[in-house]
Structure 1
Amino acid sequence: MPAGVWWDAVRVPYAQGWGVVKALGEACGGVIGDPYRSWLYWLVPPGGGEFPARGGVVRLSVACWLPVPAPHRTGPPGPYWAVPYEGLTEPARLGAALSGEAEAAR
């Protein structure tokens, strides 16, 4: 599905991403897992919030496409819902969780 219309996606390396899921807890919206490329993708509101491209974190928006799994796909193989979709993640909270993970990795 195209990003930048209903949502943008923030791509995070798999290993770092699981710590972010834990840090966000109940504030975590839908997260798509891609085990083949080792990425987790957070769905966030389109156009809002800045995410510096560091440590493999990249915001995907207009002109980007993302494989969105069926609602019942909650595990590999292929793309799946690492955190089932119940809404978007607030960019400010995701940014804070990502910063905390970057600090913890140092």
Structure 2
Amino acid sequence: MSAPVDGRLLAQLIAQGTAEGADMATLRGIAEEAGELGASRALARLGLDDPKAGKDMGELRELLEAWRDAKRSAVKAVAGWVVRMVLALVVVGLAVKLGFWGLGK
């Protein structure tokens, strides 16, 4: 199980290294390189380590936004039709209740 990534462990290790005589700039450089290496490995595991990954992610975001827009539009359209059907049924019910149904004969 991995430790939470909040920086406390890194701060403790840097403090320990400084107390043992290591240069602060060197320790910060090591921490930065370790972070870069970890990020690179994570991206590689996800298949996002090639030069086209940024463009691909942009296209995926656009596609997801288009999907959300389409879904929102579909929900609005269905809601509109439901409201129209309910209103039509109310009008037909009122016409029958008030006797307007027989006037057309």
Q: Under a length normalisation based on structure 1, what TM-score does the superposition of the two structures give? A: 0.23
Instruction: Name the structure where helix makes up a greater proportion of residues.
Output: 2
Instruction: Name the structure where strand makes up a greater proportion of residues.
Output: 1
**Which one has the largest radius of gyration?**
2
Structure ranking higher on relative contact order (CA contacts 8 Å, 6+ apart): 1
